[in-house]
């Protein structure tokens, strides 16, 4: 597009996560007409999805309507739709009922859960990438205790109180610690026929340590804290089968009614419609300026991109900070283009690592910020303040902080409404107190 033209550049952003929103906000004062398209109407702070899944927070605490976030930005329009494909040659995105042309396109669709070629596991072992996923895990988690309360068969009751989490990254670690906290601190006084503290939480990790991306001393600290809390950590272990009755870890079958998947991610299906180079995980391979090679007007950012840090030569990590930084970078690139800077003069993206964190349990977290390694209560406080900063709006920050303080002091989780199907699967009723429909 000729930057001296009086026409307004048409920018389409696909995805309302951190990456997409930061592109839109970065172009607030630019001479552009922005359309942000997302298949959901809300932005989600994904690092806290596990707290919705374990009844610590309500969905509204970590999600915000995209229209509300951008309501004051006059050059931005929000559209609720699922993009079916992209025609790079014609410079249009394909929607269920038509198409929209663009001058610049930014793909910020994130990733989905990978089951490593075993998609048949998906309905049996939900992942944790969306708000819907979090609510489904919460439903299964809370129903497990409800069903166990009525279950008269000892083996079936043990299976209902056994939770297997596959994957020892941040999501797996945080989810396993939170589930154990639910069983041992939040529920014991509320059930009459079962002892919720006998619940088994098993964390299966294929690597030699938990949180491989973090320093070894913090990984070891996390392992010790989880073990002390009662979580069974299986390192060097792989799930080889998932069935309705449980999982097979190596040659061992573990009877478990609930399996949650936190191992691996892959690109969204939209990437496959582009006809460009993808990496083994289905993410789009981009150039130093985060554009698709041969298409300088098309950018892929955040988790959806296979991008290389210009300084280190290492892949940009798929974390919130990476999404935010790539979003701001592309907004600057588009602004430079509109000012007449040629694409050949674009800078290369360089990631600034602000550290990584993971919650282990009540009052315990680990944090790595440069050479500073924090754990225990100090790590937990750092984790809290950093995560609150990223929440949208004062009300969400205040409510979330209140819930965390209340949970820490009293051990209660009040977001325990079971939504959706509440039918119990009970083989043998305790003392004949439950009649079947």
Q: Which residues belong to the active site?
A: 174
Rounded-to-integer distance, Cα 194 and Cα 192, Å: 6
Give 56's Cβ-side CA count (13 Å radius): 31
Residue with tokens 């068969």: 153
The DSSP symbol for 319 reads S
Q: Which residue's structure tokens are 């792989």?
A: 238
CA distance 404 to 397: 11
**Spatial contact of 52 and 58, defined as CB atoms under 8 Å apart:** yes
Give per-residue burial for 293-313: e unless 16+ CB within 10 Å, then b. eebbbbbbbbbbbbbbbeeee
Question: In whole angstroms, what is the distance from residue 174 CA to residue 359 CA?
Answer: 5
The 3-state DSSP composition of the chain as helix, strand, coil percent (nearest 5) reads 35, 25, 40
Beta strands in 187-301, from DSSP E residues, in sequence order: 200-204, 232-234, 239-243, 246-249, 252-255, 258-261, 265-267, 284-285, 291-292, 295-300
Closest CA to 133 of 144, 122, 148: 122
CA–CA separation, 437 vs 421, rounded Å?
15
Distance CA 320, CA 305 (A): 13
Which sign does the torsion angle of CA 272, 275, 276, 280 carry?
Answer: positive
3-state secondary structure at position 383: helix
Whole-number Cα distances in Å, 45 to 63, 336, 396, 400: 6, 29, 11, 12
125 backbone φψ class: left, alpha, beta (φ>0; ψ -120 to 50): beta
Query: What span, in angstroms and rounded, lies between the C-alpha atoms of 229 and 200?
Result: 11
Query: Radius of gyration (Cα) for the chain, nearest Å?
Result: 23
């Amino acid at each position: 597009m000729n930057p001296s033209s009086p026409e307004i550049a048409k920018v389409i952003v696909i995805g309302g996560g951190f990456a997409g929103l930061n592109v839109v906000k970065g172009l607030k004062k630019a001479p552009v007409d922005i359309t942000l398209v997302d298949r959901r109407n809300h932005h989600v702070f994904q690092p806290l999805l596990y707290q919705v899944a374990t009844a610590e927070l309500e969905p509204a605490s970590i999600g915000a309507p995209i229209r509300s976030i951008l309501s004051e930005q006059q050059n931005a329009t929000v559209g609720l739709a699922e993009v079916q494909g992209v025609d790079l040659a014609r410079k249009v995105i394909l929607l269920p009922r038509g198409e929209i042309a663009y001058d610049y396109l930014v793909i910020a669709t994130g990733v989905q859960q990978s089951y490593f070629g075993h998609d048949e596991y998906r309905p049996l072992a939900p992942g944790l990438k969306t708000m819907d996923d979090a609510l489904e895990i919460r439903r299964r988690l809370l129903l497990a205790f409800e069903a166990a309360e009525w279950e008269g068969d000892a083996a079936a009751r043990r299976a209902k109180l056994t939770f297997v989490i596959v994957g020892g990254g941040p999501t797996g670690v945080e989810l396993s610690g939170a589930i154990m906290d639910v069983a041992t601190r939040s529920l014991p006084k509320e059930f009459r026929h079962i002892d919720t503290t006998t619940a088994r939480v098993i964390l299966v990790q294929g690597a030699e340590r938990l949180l491989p991306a973090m320093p070894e001393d913090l990984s070891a600290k996390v392992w010790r804290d989880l073990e002390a809390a009662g979580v069974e950590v299986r390192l060097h272990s792989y799930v080889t089968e998932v069935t309705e009755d449980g999982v097979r870890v190596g040659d061992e079958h573990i009877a478990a009614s609930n399996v949650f998947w936190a191992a691996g991610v892959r690109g969204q299906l939209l990437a496959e419609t582009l006809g460009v180079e993808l990496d083994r995980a289905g993410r789009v391979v981009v150039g130093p300026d985060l554009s698709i090679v041969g298409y300088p007007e098309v950018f892929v950012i955040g988790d959806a991109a296979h991008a290389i840090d210009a300084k280190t030569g290492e892949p940009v990590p798929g974390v919130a900070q990476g999404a935010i930084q790539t979003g701001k970078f592309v907004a600057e690139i588009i602004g430079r283009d509109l000012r007449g800077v040629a694409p050949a003069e674009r800078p290369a993206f360089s990631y600034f690592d602000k550290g990584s964190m993971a919650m282990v349990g009540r009052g315990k977290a680990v944090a790595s910020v440069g050479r500073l390694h924090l754990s225990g209560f100090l790590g937990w406080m750092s984790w809290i303040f950093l995560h609150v900063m990223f929440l949208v709006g004062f009300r969400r920050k205040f409510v979330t902080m209140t819930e965390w303080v209340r949970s820490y002091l009293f051990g209660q989780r009040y977001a325990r409404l079971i939504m959706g199907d509440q039918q119990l699967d009970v083989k043998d009723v305790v003392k004949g107190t439950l009649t079947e429909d």
